[in-house]
Amino acid sequence: MAAVGLSASSFINRERSWIQFNQRVLAQALNPQTPLLEQARFSAIFSNNLDEFFMVRVASLKSQVEAGVDQLSLDGRSPLQQLLDIREQLTPLLQQQQNHYKNYLVPTLQDHGVEVFRYTELNRQQRDWTTRYFQSLVFAVLTPLAVDSAHPFPFISNLSLNIAVLIQDSAIGSHQFARVKVPRSLPRFVDIPTQLSTLDSVRTVVLLEEIIAHNLDVLFPGTVVTGHYFFRVTRDADLEYLELEADDLLQAIEASLRKRRLEGRVVRLEVDEHMPQGVVDQLMAGMAVEQEDLYRIRGPLGLDDLFQLTTTAQPQLRYPPHRGRVPPPFRRAQKSLLADGSLPREEFESVFDVIRRGDVLVYHPYDLFAGSVEEFINQAADDPDVLAIKLTLYRLSKESAIVDALERASEHGKQVLALVELKARFDEDNNIQWARQLERAGVHVVYGVLGYKTHTKVALVVRKERHGVRSYAHIGTGNYNVKTSRFYTDLGLFTCCSMIGQDLVELFNYFTGYGKQQRFRKLLVAPVTLRDRMEAMINREVKHAREQRGGHIRAKMNSLVDPAIIQALYGAAQAGVRIELVVRGMCSLRAGVPGLSESIRVVSVIGPFLEHSRIFWFGNGGNPEAYIGSADWMTRNLDRRVECLTPVEDPLLRQKLEILLSLYLQDNCGAWQMETDGSYRPVLRRQDEAERNAQSALIQYWQAVQGKADLGAAAVSDAVT
């Protein structure tokens, strides 16, 4: 329901807002200024995002409808109304994506030597090659399943691409229906040897399902294939587990994963637009699909596989490659530099020496994750003076240098604690495997606080030094994941502030024991202090504004949907507080509405990197406060997760955060601004205005100081203006 004192029209539906975000992603694919292979990547991201949206959000709304839940959303819509709105909003976007693929992406790629052929477009030699490919590699993998009185309708797995085959028995003339699953173990875009092409091609591909479809007679000997049609299924993939009743959380989640794979109901059925209604009816009946869950698609299904095209060796069709730098404060603390002889041994210093001199702020991917976070954990694992390492693991890559370091530290006899969040959506199985591996290595592994998901990203190193024990900390906005660090923008603070160290000691005790810490010295921790402190700082800006000290709030986050925070921001705006928000995804707040939010501006920045950093800045009457951390302004982050924000108190580092916020707010290349009706429009550059692209400017600045001393916040400002 709407917040007290506000009408439903004061809020934007979160599902609608999410679809608008994904529309902005699609706009990057449709933009002819985007490099061609990057267009394919953004189109793949659009599809991948939609898959997760259906598996979680649409599935949740359908559950509410079936359970008879009539609670209205913030904007006054029932679950059924929201489902109908979702379909209405998505239909034109799906058509835009397919039109772009067929009418622009494929023919333009061909102009650059990348041929994406339909099977019917292949020449004789290429068809002969695909036949040999099918016989030697594909045929043995396939399992055709008939559907008749002796063979019930088969289970269709989540996100699987399938072929509905109509066959006729040549002996008795009967018609049958069969299903063939397109194997995920083989590439979707099959590379044909370029020497078989009549053009000077760099790459020639054809879709795997088309190769299978044109060899179906081999799968069904003695019959006549009278038709084939592609379809794809999306199932409810949100885990359900009774955590409070589980004796073993790991086993409970494993059981839930098995149930999700085998029992998740269908929430979307995508079919080839040419599929006859009789075949559609059979699929819908076999999987209990409702009419509103059916999507007829005019083109290839599952375009998330366009990721496979982006590996084409055509660098001019991609964004220029970016490799981050080793953060200047850590330049002399790299073991690798010492090992290869590029740094004299007497000039080497440890990361702990660096952090003792002052806090260090890093910004990935512009700053290398390996040259900062991984180096911090690696040196902690090998330093004989380190007594303990503790950190939280939410999402990890398939290979992790951090896990290797934790295992090595345990072997060296250090106390090592890893909080592995087993409930990280779609990473549950991966995290279970990591948890077991760490336990086998002697690491103390815990799964978090009962009833809460631990989303915070913190690491603590306890070190014995000349004057006693000192704690070193890293608090970040992103996961300890080297893979995502290359294309997610995330901030991290290294500090040896004693009060932050003590806060983290008590926070980890909260994770591992029964203590319920209610107060922290510096950190803002959800669900304990974060919400109250955020609302208090918003209200403090109201007081400053009323006393003519210029209330001002700037913040950057992924999502803003919490009704209490939105209501507090509306109240601040009405009191004259200037509010500037950079919200990448969902935003239920309406900006610029007369009498409600005239002084609030909301922008969303979409670019080569996924904006993932969170910054919260409050003017505080000329004595600013700034925080970074893992939490968005969402109810789940404030009330149902363990989150952590740290203050950035060093004036120079805080100034850098202020400049980062200004960069995003001044962007006129990749920014979109919210209108009063909740829609977004691109921020257009005036003819007399310089081009300002926040991500490009940051790349240029970081490259300019590659290997040099950090030029400071003023230099950042100079480099981007």
Q: What angle do CA 664, 669, 675 make, to 5 degrees?
A: 75
Sort strands 641-647 and 453-454 into parallel, antiparallel or unpaired.
parallel
Amino acid at 474: H
Residue 258 has a CB neighbour count (10 Å cut-off) of 10
Sort strands 625-629 and 680-682 into parallel, antiparallel or unpaired.
unpaired
Provide CB contacts within 8 A for 344, sequence distance 6+: none
How far apart (Å, rounded) are the C-alpha atoms in residues 502 and 505? 5
Pair of tokens at residue 202: 């760099």
How far apart (Å, rounded) are the C-alpha atoms in residues 69 and 48? 29
Amino acid at 110: Q
Q: Which of 364, 455, 544, 552 is an active site residue?
A: 455
Pair of tokens at residue 188: 């979707």
Provide CB contacts within 8 A for 416, sequence distance 6+: 388, 389, 390, 406, 409, 410, 442, 443, 444
Pair of tokens at residue 526: 């959800």
Buried-state track 16-49, b at ≥16 Cβ within 10 A, e below 16: bbbbbbbbbbbbbbbeeebbbbbbbbbbbbbbbb
Distances (CA, A) of 619 to 313, 492, 539, 661: 48, 22, 12, 13
Is residue 322 annotated as part of the catalytic site, yes or no? no
Please report, to the nearest 10 degrees, the dihedral formed by the alpha carbons of residues 536, 541, 546, 552 taken in order. Answer: -160
Pair of tokens at residue 162: 């399938």
Q: What angle do CA 80, 84, 85 make, to 5 degrees?
A: 115
How far apart (Å, rounded) are the C-alpha atoms in residues 371 and 354? 13
The answer to whether the bond into 527 is cis (omega within 30° of 0) is yes
The answer to whether the bond into 35 is cis (omega within 30° of 0) is no
Helix (H, G, I), strand (E, B) or coil at 169: strand
Pair of tokens at residue 530: 């974060």
How far apart (Å, rounded) are the C-alpha atoms in residues 411 and 144? 50
Pair of tokens at residue 54: 């259906």
Give the length of the chain: 721
Query: Contact 632/557 with Cβ under 8 angstroms?
Result: yes
Distances (CA, A) of 70 to 2, 8, 563, 679: 14, 15, 19, 27
Helix (H, G, I), strand (E, B) or coil at 175: strand
Reference 49, options 679, 585, 631; nearest CA is: 585
What are the beta bridge partners of residue 292? none
How far apart (Å, rounded) are the C-alpha atoms in residues 62 and 69? 10
Assign 3-class secondary structure to 620-668: HHHCCEEEEECCCECHHHHHCEEEEEEECCCHHHHHHHHHHHHHHHHCC
Residues assigned a catalytic role: 455
